[in-house]
Amino acid sequence: MAMIQIREALRQAMQEEMRRDESIFLMGEEVAHYNGAYKVSQGMLEEFGEDRVVDTPISENGFAGLGIGAAMVGMRPIIEFMTWNFSLVAYDQIVNSAAKIYQMSGGQYSVPIVFRGPNGPAENLGSQHSTSVESLFAHFPGLKVVTFATAYDAKGLLKAAIRDPNPVVFLESEMTYGIKGEVPDEEYIIELGKADIKRSGTDVTLITWGKQLFTVQKAAESLMAQGIDVEIVDLRSLRPLDHETVFNSVVKTGRAVVIHEGFIFAGVGAELVSRIQEACFDVLQAPVLRVTNRDVPQPYATNLEKLVYPSEDRIIAAVQQVMER
């Protein structure tokens, strides 16, 4: 095991896959000569050259479409968005082309492409750079939507995404690029569509994804001191969704709280609550609750940011509420 940063784990995944398959290339703003806005692609230009690590103009709609076209004729592009907020400029390309071409062509064309980059709020970036976009893409059949919190998951999931024959929306976080974790020296792949039990417990299931895992883990420690034994399910894949792991956990505990950074209205959390209530209604001891971002545009000031995000205190309060029933 090596202890490496998440940015290094993502880089290793891309390098190993590009060495294995010459049809894979990386394209995006500042990925080559600047080594990536967050240094995820550092050193890749020197190894693979300008034909396979390609700097683009500031034109997400253009280079997303170029990548989709390349995927249709046998290449396997990795398209980096400097932030997923900027992907909205390319939304039509992703949801009307990448997601639908396989079905509309009767299977004549597949689109093996990965769209990746940082998602959700960071620090002091304001509302136009802080949107959690997962619900916007998970809504559409034809796309896979994947996220992670640890270096181990980052590498294994990205390698799986690159090898997948379908378009994959791969959501990272600039807040976690520097976090270190253990990554095996040998090759490994994490199957898409498989959640992970990050902590086993008996009293209540906390379901989350992305960097909110760290806040949930802190809340779990505080709750344990109160005698509440929490189980944490890290979804990792939002589409396809691992219903079996989620439902089995809720059946075991009888209670559930969903925690995520997106807005509460029409978010992925709402879909999870609906599916849990439909599948597990007979065993639920309390209504399924959500802890999400406040339903306001993201503020810039640090003190206001803290009021908007899911917090340890808000998670603890939600768990205490379901435990009272």
- Which residue among the candidates 8, 17, 129, 305 is catalytic per the annotation? 129
Q: Which residue has the tokens 């394209």?
A: 27
Q: Residue 62 corresponds to which tokens in the numbers above?
A: 């253009």
Neighbours of 318 (CB within 10 A): 20
Q: Is 129 a known active-site residue?
A: yes
Query: Which of 40, 92, 43, 102 has the alpha carbon at shortest distance from 71?
Result: 102
Q: Is 30 a known active-site residue?
A: no
Q: Residue 40 corresponds to which tokens in the numbers above?
A: 């995820």
Lay out the sheet containing 289-293: strands in order across: 196-199, 230-234, 204-208, 256-263, 289-293
- Which residue among the candidates 60, 174, 231, 261 is catalytic per the annotation? 60
Q: What angle do CA 162, 168, 171 make, to 5 degrees?
A: 100
Neighbours of 324 (CB within 10 A): 7
| CB-CB contact of 252 with 214 (8 Å) | no
Q: Is 137 helix (H, G, I), strand (E, B) or coil?
A: helix
Q: Residue 143 corresponds to which tokens in the numbers above?
A: 């796309």
Q: Which residues are catalytic?
A: 60, 129
